[in-house]
Structure 1
Amino acid sequence: MRALLTPEIAMNTGVVLLKPGRDLLPMFRGRVLICTPPGELSHLPSGLINDSSQPLLDEPQLKKFFTDMKVIGAAGGMESHDAWVQRIGVCQLEIKDSYHHPHYTTMRTESGSVCLCYAHDNYCRGNGTPRTLERVGVDNVSRWVIESACLQMGLGADHRMTLPELCWWACLKGVIDLIPETHARRVLRMPAQVTETGAMPEALITPASSAQEIIQDTAEVVKQVLRISVDPESPQSFMARPKRLRWSNEIYTRWVKAQPCACCRKQADDPHHIIGHGQGGMGTKAHDLFVIPLCRAHHDELHRDMKAFEEKYGSQLELLVRFLDHSIAVGVVG
């Protein structure tokens, strides 16, 4: 059991008073370790905090986000959540001196599923769901969403998820609008909203974009840089001598131009289209996907003597594969 307590210091006596309350008093039956709270917990109010390694579970305002059906669907759906809860393998209904059946099932509450033994499953279906079990359901679905998000982002099930990572996952899944405004502002390092009281002249009202809108706009820009589509039944693929189509995307080439030079890592000046290697022949130009960022000096050097350039810096194909790998890894190509 862990808790945050606000001490009261008696002036001139050196006495520190802690008021744990009735719920937290059992903590003080033995020795208690007292330490300063880490930065990730400094904003939380006094009271009990979770014992897991996921600090996001201590954010009360995120409970509504975790239990939203759109978020649950983005994490894998209720069937996947039920399977996760089934693996808990412990009856989550605590009734003093009650019998627990050795086999377990899952029961859905208003917010999430809980793991129950057969005996307490029958009890709840006949007598209604206790309020304490509703809170367990919220906690279960919150833990499952965080774990699912970590797995979907390739971070591992035991990864300690941060708020920026949760917001990025929400952007990718199209549910960023459900992140609370206060948390979105923390991620963007925006000042907290101040609610004006009293009368205010209409001329002084200046509408500003909300934090969610800023994050959502940023995510849409990233998603729209380049999205590859596949058509296995394109009309040209059925022709004996199809007309060659050139793929172009000005937004992507502008982004490439803004990246570091593939040779010297200084600011690039041009998106170089691959030449040679079957590309850039007479009257043709490589697809806009087959480009690498080059500064003006290295771009001129390549076109002066392609063979000497590749002997010095490596094949253009090798540079292209490295850059495409980077573009995919940072989410620009999706």
Structure 2
Amino acid sequence: MGRRRIVSAAIALMAALVLPTPGVAAAGQDDKTPRSLTEIVTPRSAEALPQMRTAAVSENTLYALTPERDEVLMFDGVTWSRIGGPAAEIYAGGGQVYATSPTTGDIFWYEHETTTWHRIGGPGQQFTVDDAGIIQGLNSTGIYEWWGGTTGWRKLGGPAASIRSGGVGLLVATSITNGDVYLYAGLPFQPWTRIGGPGQDFAITTVGYFYGQNDAGIFAWRGGLDWIQVGGPAAKMYTGGNLVATSPYNGDAYRFLDAELQWEHVGGPGDQFTVANDGTIYGLNSGGVWRKAPGESGWTKVGDPAASLAV
């Protein structure tokens, strides 16, 4: 990965002004929006669930699944503690953590104040959590967002191929018809805006920078008409306080320095990386869980091997 010149969106990910959204319906178009994520879920009173609150943990708290996926663990920077399990997968952001059931696929939210897991919805095709701790879910009927309490699930749009969130309230979805990427702004009569053409993956950092990936490389979008190419091909992108990408050639991890438009090599191959809002990078390999904080030259082992990480 190296420094790349600015290229036109006509060469890479095409950006455009507001267009009708194929495959992503505007929020509010369906008056029969289900309160649960899937209409096949057993009805449950939303009033019985707590209102979402600021978690009594750092937004940089790390969560991990044990290799057997039988325990959900929380790391406060010093100590690991068990908070639940088993789980199929975990999702985190803004100090909040969610997990899916390995038997039913149902989605659960962990309330830190009472150390209780609450079932908040049925299975979904995909889940993502923004930096405010709000979870969005995707299923065959559309895109939903969960606010807890009496609000429950709120429908944001129709069916999509994939969703990604980041920052506070920032969400992008790809069209099921042509792969174009749309930004959810939540504005009346204009909830979705097309910002680019098809890509292999998209990501959003804490500060709201958008990145797209295709065969040609990694591109950044800052709200204009053009996407800026900032790197060559990558195997995977991870975002939090920074963008981290892995090389498709040797698996090494690189951090993108936005101000300099340059890449910094941060480590060797890993099975997974995750980036906290303060820019701390956590890496996972067969040797365990590793941490590299901003300004540190090396990696520090902070945990044993795990199945997956989330922060």
- Which one has more relative contact order, counting CA pairs under 8 Å at least 6 apart? 2
TM-score greater than 0.5 by the shorter chain: no
The structure with the greater share of residues assigned to helix is 1
More strand by percentage: 2
Larger radius of gyration: 1
The normalised TM-score by structure 2 is 0.22
